[in-house]
Homo-oligomer: A and B are copies of this chain.
Amino acid sequence: MEYKPTIEDVAKLANVSIATVSRVINNQGGVRKATEERILNAINELGYIRSAVARSMKKKETNTIGIIVPDITNPFFPHVVAGIEQKAREKGYYTILSSTNESPIVEEEIVKIFIERGVDGVIITTANETGDHIRLLQEQGIPIVAVDRAIKKFEVDTVLVDNVNGSYQAVRHLILQGHERIAIICGPQNTTPGYERYLGYKKALEEYNIPLDPSLVYQGDFREGSGYKGALHLFYLENKPTAIFSSNNQMTFGCVKALMELEWKLVEEVAFIGFDDVEIATFIRPKLSVVSRPMTAIGEIAFQLVYDRIHFKENLPKREYLLTPELKIRESCSFYKKI
């Protein structure tokens, strides 16, 4: 079958007008039982499937929400996406997904395309927090929810994790274990998570009157390679750290890899806590302690936010969710014996 039946074909076969057919496929009621049945039969017989694009054209809504993530390959995002998708499907929404590879240029392109396609809302972890491309969306009146990274210039709903608190908890824990030379492998300082996690680190040190030693602050870029290099750098310091805090999952990978190669022994020689739980954490010995985020919940909330905004556009104030991460103490940061 190559010919696609339209609502008109159904109407003809059932001997009614297209308006009536429309009413039954949309469950609007006000159709005589017998008529409805006739129509339903016609639909079945023809194998009619209503065209969502024609529908969108008329209704000016696509029941689609766009998701923009920096890297679908980072295990954090599939979990978030799963949360979004689950809730979305329940409400009859579908998602169109794109990965920017952290490129603001790609991101801008994607935003344009999403607008062209008339997405009803956008959930974004932006590669460009200051971004003007967001204005485009605002101008079109398309609801936006920022996930994981805030958007500075514009008022949009956000669901973030309390990064400061998370890294603060981690570093404080290290301090309480007796560590004083605590290193951090930072994320890019022009991203919310990168900056805030550094802030939490600083805050903990200050609170316990430990001077911040700049040689223990390594600038990474959230990718595995920089975690690796960071660990190397710290290892070859004249005055090594006794503990390391890594600002995200991918850098944790690199870092742990380096530690192994250097035979820089976890716990005995260096304590470790990473931001974000990772699959490897419970597989290596000692098990890695981490700051863990409720990834699926983040996605679910994000969807709820766009959804609300789509349906009550008018008078919703800006809403910010700030989820508190949880410090999962395992084995990589046990008691530290001073020399």
Contacts and interface: CB of A to CB of B under 8 A. Distances in A.
A145 B247 CA distance: 39
Nearest to A117: B52
B98 A96 contact: no
A95 interface: yes
Nearest to A72: B78
Contact of A140 (B4, B54, B112): B4
Given A75-B75, A279-B280, A99 B82 contact: yes
Interface string A59-90: 00010100000001101011101100100010
B260 A64 contact: no
Contacts of A207: none
Nearest to A287: B260
A73 B285 CA distance: 25
Contacts of A177: none
A246 to B, nearest CB: 14
B97 A95 contact: yes
Contact of A85 (B99, B140, B278): B99
A257 interface: yes
B53 A117 contact: yes
25 contacts: A1-B140, A2-B141, A4-B140, A47-B139, A52-B116, A53-B62, A54-B57, A57-B57, A72-B81, A73-B79, A75-B279, A77-B78, A81-B97, A85-B99, A95-B96, A95-B97, A96-B96, A253-B279, A253-B283, A256-B283, A257-B282, A279-B279, A280-B280, A280-B284, A283-B283
